[in-house]
Amino acid sequence: MAADKKTTVLVTGAGGFIGHHLVTYLKNKGYWVRGVDLKFPEFSDSEAHEFEILDLRRWDNCLRATRGMDQVYALAADMGGMGFISAHHAKILHNNTLINFHTLEAARINGVTRYLYTSSACVYPEYRQKDADVVPLKEEDVYPAQPQDAYGWEKLISEHLCRHYREEYGLETRIVRFHNIFGPRGSWEGGREKAPAALCRKIAEAKLTGDPTVEIWGDGQQTRSFCHINDCLTGLYKLMQSDHHDPINLGQDCMVSIDELADIIARIAGITIIKKHIPGPEGVRGRNSDNTRLRQVLGWEPEISLEEGLTYTYRWIEQQVLQKRTGRKTELPGLACLAR
């Protein structure tokens, strides 16, 4: 469905991984797009019609960001992989609360009609995620609440805020719970990268140096599901168009252990690795998405297999590692298909 050309959309966090891809996706659908972030995207220029550097912890900046917008996709957050979110509880709770409370209220004041909030599978209680062979999480499993980290608590309270703004002010809110989104052009080094990107980097380094040892946090038996960015964008867009206002999972429901994830990436890289298990933040023992509601509501679910998605992602990260080591920009053959 092509958008009315006059529909204006704000993407917050447009300098980040999902937001950067989303700007391109929405522009291609015919929307007029404003991107806002603390920084420009790191790996390619934004295609936003307008891109503003604004700190959304500040109320005045939120008013400025949402002015004249019909719809908001709220993605801005201080976040990262397990290493980051298990070590910065105060900062995450403080920053993300300010961002989300101010952005939502500014959207209301500026007459935004639809607002999509990006929550996380981290809202689900620890007590349901103690086994690697976990029962997939349904949306209603979130209560009684016991998220593992401050990151999850903040997401949960912002979900509530969206619900109350819809019920009391009539602002049409949508709430998505992502389960580990991965793909090219996301953080792959520096501490904020997540497991798929970190393992792609380590395996690319093993391939380039010839040292097959790859460090893995924990015993490698912890499980997750991983969803490719292209499926994430399709799901986000479909949800925004839908009438469904309760929180909904968006992820793959095909679970693998972190060791299996490393093996798949090593196969893609074409090398044999030696996995070295070291102490490190592991998060919950097991997590998987129950996609029953996603199928019911959107008549759709993620389609890209882990192997296919990782092939594109690995090739992009290998290129980044190579560039960093040699200082030369090299275009790997076939990289254009990343943007399919």
Least CB distance to ligand NAD at residue 99 (A): 5
Q: 70, 108, 129, 99: which is closest to 283 by C-alpha?
A: 129
289 binds ligand NAD (CB under 6 A): no
259 vs 314: CA distance, rounded Å: 16
Report the C-alpha dihedral over residues 279, 191, 282, 319, rounded to 10 degrees: -100
283 binds ligand NAD (CB under 6 A): no
> Which range of residues in 31-39, 252-260, 271-279, 326-334 is near ligand NAD by CB under 6 A?
31-39
Helix then strand count (H, E) for the chain reads 10, 13
| Closer by beta carbon to ligand NAD, 75 or else 262 | 75
Task: List, in order, residues 6 or more apart from 241 with CB less than 8 Å away.
Answer: 1
> Which range of residues in 163-171, 177-185, 210-218, 314-322 is near ligand NAD by CB under 6 A?
177-185
Token digits of residue 71: 């719809």
Least CB distance to ligand NAD at residue 54 (A): 6
> Which range of residues in 158-166, 175-183, 269-277, 310-318 is near ligand NAD by CB under 6 A?
175-183
| Closer by beta carbon to ligand NAD, 183 or else 206 | 183
From residue 219, how far is each of 80, 136, 205, 222, 266 by CA, in Å?
21, 21, 21, 7, 18
Task: List, in order, residues 6 or more apart from 81 with CB less than 8 Å away.
Answer: 192, 193, 194, 195, 197, 198
159 binds ligand NAD (CB under 6 A): no
Q: 59, 77, 68, 57: which is closest to 10 by C-alpha?
A: 68
Least CB distance to ligand NAD at residue 285 (A): 18
Phi, psi for 137 (deg, rounded to 5) = -90, 125
57 binds ligand NAD (CB under 6 A): yes
Q: What residue is closest to ligand NAD based on CB?
A: 16
83 binds ligand NAD (CB under 6 A): no
Residues in the interface with ligand NAD (CB under 6 A) total 25
108 vs 258: CA distance, rounded Å: 42
| Closer by beta carbon to ligand NAD, 16 or else 27 | 16
DSSP assignment letter at 56: T
- Which of 5, 39, 329, 340 binds ligand NAD (CB under 6 A)? It is 39
118 binds ligand NAD (CB under 6 A): yes
DSSP assignment letter at 83: H
120 binds ligand NAD (CB under 6 A): yes
Binding site for ligand NAD (CB under 6 A): 13, 15-19, 37-39, 55-57, 75-79, 95, 99, 118, 120, 178, 180-181, 194
